[in-house]
Amino acid sequence: MPLLVNLRHLELHNVRLQGELPAKELDLETGDEMVQARQPLHHDLEVQQIEEGLLVQGHLHIVLDCQCVRCLKPVEYELNLENWACHLPLAGDEAVAVLNDCVDLTPSVREDILLEFPQHPLCDPQCRGLQKTPVGKPGNTNSTGQTEADVSAWAELNKLKL
């Protein structure tokens, strides 16, 4: 169920929205394999009507399932928007859609969460990446009689006669 606020309730007093919103409702599919939103969004928001708009303030928290871009280990990334605020105009060119006296806050929440996604998630800032494994031991000879240390892409290219 999306984050909806009824404008008729706002005529009397501010509205407080607390709870969880499933990740599917947020539609946070980015196509990024390194950052996935599978856990619910926890929200604690207060909505008030100010002249021709809505002011939404509060706290947003979601845990993202990520992979370290250096070593590919799975890591959880906590995304906290402590003092999140958003102004939604009810009139003009940029007015939000009002359906049955309700305004959906989900698109604004989605946008700000996507902007806070980590671009390059790391398990640790000092992560050294994948461990390098040796292909062969120096001194081993191949079928041509050369040692593996002597064989390289450049050596093979030098054999070409152009």
Q: Which residues pair with 143 in a beta bridge?
A: none
Q: Which residues pair with 45 in a beta bridge?
A: 17, 58
- Letter for the amino acid at 142? N
Q: In what order do the strands lie in the sheet with 102-104?
A: 4-6, 102-104, 98-99
Q: What pLDDT was estimated at residue 51?
A: 84
DSSP notation for 68-128: -TTT--EEEEEEEEEEEEEEEESSSTTPPPEETTEEE-HHHHHHHHHHTS-SS--SSTT--
This prediction has a pTM of 0.72
Residue 43 and residue 19 in contact, taking contact as beta carbons nearer than 8 Å: yes
Q: Is the per-residue pLDDT at 150 higher than 80?
A: no
Q: What pLDDT was estimated at residue 84?
A: 93
- Among 48, 26, 53, which residue's Cα sits nearest to residue 37? 26
Separation of alpha carbons 15 and 20, rounded Å: 16
Q: For residues 42-68, give the mean pLDDT.
A: 93
- Letter for the amino acid at 38? R
Cα-atom radius of gyration of the chain, to the nearest Å?
Answer: 27
Q: For residues 100-110, give the mean pLDDT.
A: 90
Q: For residues 137-155, give the mean pLDDT.
A: 60
